[in-house]
Amino acid sequence: MWTGEFEGKVLYVQTHGENDPGRCATPFFLAASAAAMEVEVGIYFTMYGPQLLKKTVVDKIGPKGDRGQRLSYFVKQATDLGVRLWVCQPSLDLNDLAIEELIDGVEMIGGAAFNDLAMNADAVVSF
């Protein structure tokens, strides 16, 4: 285990959507954990990932059985800790979505901006 002060930037990339609920909460959970450690954190949603940002979806996706939390819990936890959420514009088109259908606070960026984020991150983790 590393010791000492944590600094840096972590970029999570979410490519899976609502059809793969087992991969939904983890990026938000890990991003919130990193933000609590005072690391600069963002999640980039591409391919089917933007589906998870739909206002009508975040409360719909929940745990299997009666253990765990809904996706909205993890989203709120992450954003309350300052995690930034970015969405890929072409992926909105892929999923027939408009930015207005997404939860508040999501920023739309293009490929060049994503590449800049990735190149300047200390770690990039994909789901």
Low-confidence residues of the chain, pLDDT below 70? Answer: 1-6, 64-66
pLDDT of residue 4: 54
Beta-sheet strand order (sheet of 123-126)? 106-109, 84-88, 40-45, 9-14, 123-126
Task: Give the number of other Cβ atoms within 10 Å of residue 76's Cβ.
Answer: 16
DSSP 8-state class, residue 103: P
Token duo for residue 115: 């590449």
Q: In the chain, what percentage of residues exceed pLDDT 70?
A: 93
Whole-model pTM: value is 0.92
| pLDDT score recorded for residue 1 | 46
